[in-house]
Amino acid sequence: MSQPILNLSPAVSDEVRKTTCYMCACRCGINVHLKSGKVSYIEGNRAHPVNKGVLCAKGASGIMQVTAPSRLRAPLRRVGPRGSGAFEEISWDEALELAVSWMKPLRETAPEKLAFFTGRDQSQSLTGWWAQNFGTPNYAAHGGFCSVNMAAGGIYTLGGAFWEFGQPDWDRTRLFVMFGVAEDHDSNPIKIGLGKLKARGARVIGVNPIRTGYNAVADDWLPITPGADGLLILSLIHCLFEAGKIDLEYLAQWTNAPLLVNEAEGPEKGLILKNAESQPFVIDRRTGMPAPWDGTGVQPDLGAVWEGHRTVFQHMAERYLSPEYAPEVVAVRCGIPAARIRALAAELADEAFNQPIEIAQGWTDFRGNRHEKMTGRPVSFHAMRGISAHSNGFQTARALHLLQIILGTVEVPGGYRFKPPYPKPVEAHPTPNFVAVPGKPLSGPHLGYVRGPEQLALKPDGSPARIDKAFTWENPFSAHGLMHMLIPNAHAGDPYRIDTLFLYMANMAWNSSMNTAKVMEMLTDRGEDGEYVIPRIIYSDAYASEMVAYADLILPDTTYLERHDCISLLDRPISEPDAAGDSIRWPVVEPDRDVRCFQTVLLDLGARLGLPGMVNEDGSPKFRDYADYIANHQRRPGVGPLIGFRGNGDAEGRGAPNPDQLQRYIENGGFYQAHVPEEALFYKPWNKAYQDWAVATSFYETPQPYLFSIWSEPMRRFQLAAEGQGAIQPPDHMRARLKQAMDPLPVWYPPFGDEGTTGYPIHALTQRPMDMYHSWGTQNAWLRQIRGMNFLYLPTKIWEEHGFADGDYARVTSPNGEITVPVAHMAALNENTIWTWNAIGKRKAAWALDDAAPEATEGFLLNHLISELLPEKNDGMRWSNSDPVTGQAAWFDLRVRIERVGPRDQSEPAFGPIPRVVPKGEGRA
Binding of other proteins by 306 (CB under 8 A): no
Min CB(320)–other proteins separation in Å: 11
Output 46 or 873, the one with its CB closest to other proteins: 46
* Rg from Cα positions in the chain: 27
* Backbone dihedral angles phi then psi of residue 174, each to the nearest 5 degrees: -115, -15
Contacts to other proteins from residues 345-364, by CB under 8 A = 345-347, 349-350
Strands 309-311 and 363-364, how do they pair?
unpaired
The number of residues that bind other proteins (CB under 8 A) is: 109
Binding of other proteins by 853 (CB under 8 A): yes
Q: Which residues have CB under 8 Å from 255's CB, separation 6+?
A: 312, 405, 707, 708, 709, 710
Min CB(454)–other proteins separation in Å: 35
Distance CA 911, CA 925 (A): 29
Cis peptide before 909 (omega within 30 of 0): yes
Q: Among 24, 25, 32, 55, which residue interacts with other proteins (rule: CB under 8 A)? A: 55
Min CB(823)–other proteins separation in Å: 13
CB 253 within 8 A of CB 300: yes
CB 225 within 8 A of CB 765: no
Give, as one character, the DSSP assignment of residue 620.
Answer: S
Contacts to other proteins from residues 34-53, by CB under 8 A = 35, 40-44, 46, 51, 53
Distance CA 664, CA 645 (A): 7
N-to-C CA span, the chain: 39
Binding of other proteins by 375 (CB under 8 A): no
Output 6 or 360, the one with its CB closest to other proteins: 6
Span near other proteins by CB under 8 A; candidates 9-17, 142-150, 581-589, 717-725: 9-17
Distance CA 373, CA 358 (A): 7
Binding of other proteins by 849 (CB under 8 A): yes
Min CB(787)–other proteins separation in Å: 6
Min CB(648)–other proteins separation in Å: 32
Minimal CA–CA distance to 127: which of 498, 495, 566?
566
Distance CA 107, CA 499 (A): 11
User: How many Cα atoms sit within 13 Å of 872 on the Cβ side?
Assistant: 4
Cis peptide before 495 (omega within 30 of 0): yes
CB 367 within 8 A of CB 296: yes
Beta strand segments in 752-894, E: 762-767, 792-794, 808-814, 817-825, 833-837
Q: Among 656, 786, 805, 910, which residue interacts with other proteins (rule: CB under 8 A)? A: 786
Q: Which residues have CB under 8 Å from 801's CB, separation 6+?
A: none
Contacts to other proteins from residues 542-601, by CB under 8 A = none
Minimal CA–CA distance to 52: which of 190, 153, 144, 148?
190
Output 2 or 620, the one with its CB closest to other proteins: 2
Min CB(571)–other proteins separation in Å: 24
Output 723 or 850, the one with its CB closest to other proteins: 850
Binding of other proteins by 921 (CB under 8 A): yes
Contacts to other proteins from residues 65-94, by CB under 8 A = 69
Min CB(461)–other proteins separation in Å: 46
Min CB(568)–other proteins separation in Å: 25
CA 609 to chain centre: 31
Contacts to other proteins from residues 139-198, by CB under 8 A = 183, 187-188, 191-192, 194-196, 198
Strands 817-825 and 792-794, how do they pair?
parallel
Distance CA 498, CA 440 (A): 18
Output 347 or 625, the one with its CB closest to other proteins: 347
Output 55 or 436, the one with its CB closest to other proteins: 55
Output 316 or 605, the one with its CB closest to other proteins: 316
Contacts to other proteins from residues 226-255, by CB under 8 A = 239-246, 248-249, 252
Contacts to other proteins from residues 267-286, by CB under 8 A = 285
Beta strand segments in 605-679, E: 671-675
Binding of other proteins by 922 (CB under 8 A): yes
Minimal CA–CA distance to 470: which of 887, 851, 98?
887
Output 245 or 763, the one with its CB closest to other proteins: 245
Binding of other proteins by 263 (CB under 8 A): no
Distance CA 201, CA 207 (A): 19
Output 137 or 921, the one with its CB closest to other proteins: 921
What binding mask, one character per residue, do residues 856-875 give for other proteins by CB under 8 A, x or -?
Answer: -x------------------
Contacts to other proteins from residues 376-435, by CB under 8 A = none
Distance CA 200, CA 618 (A): 63
Distance CA 540, CA 560 (A): 14
Minimal CA–CA distance to 799: which of 790, 808, 789?
808
Q: In a 10 Å sphere around its CB, with 0-12 CB exposed, 13-18 middle and 19+ buried, how is residue 663 labelled?
A: middle
Distance CA 53, CA 58 (A): 14
Binding of other proteins by 60 (CB under 8 A): yes
Distance CA 407, CA 418 (A): 17
* Buried/exposed code over 276-310 (b: 16+ C-beta within 10 A; e: otherwise): eeeebbbbbbeeeebbebbeeebbbbbebebeebb
Span near other proteins by CB under 8 A; candidates 117-125, 533-541, 852-860, 882-890: 852-860
Min CB(30)–other proteins separation in Å: 11
CB 715 within 8 A of CB 256: no
Min CB(216)–other proteins separation in Å: 4
Output 57 or 812, the one with its CB closest to other proteins: 57
Min CB(171)–other proteins separation in Å: 14
Contacts to other proteins from residues 308-327, by CB under 8 A = 314, 317-318, 321
Binding of other proteins by 805 (CB under 8 A): no
Min CB(56)–other proteins separation in Å: 5
Contacts to other proteins from residues 605-644, by CB under 8 A = none
In which element (H, E) is residue 114 found?
A: strand 114-118
Min CB(397)–other proteins separation in Å: 24
Min CB(843)–other proteins separation in Å: 15
Contacts to other proteins from residues 194-223, by CB under 8 A = 194-196, 198-199, 203, 211-221, 223
Min CB(5)–other proteins separation in Å: 10
Contacts to other proteins from residues 746-785, by CB under 8 A = 770-771, 779, 781-785
Contacts to other proteins from residues 325-344, by CB under 8 A = 340, 342-343
Q: Among 264, 827, 877, 910, which residue interacts with other proteins (rule: CB under 8 A)? A: 827
Output 174 or 518, the one with its CB closest to other proteins: 174
Output 770 or 885, the one with its CB closest to other proteins: 770
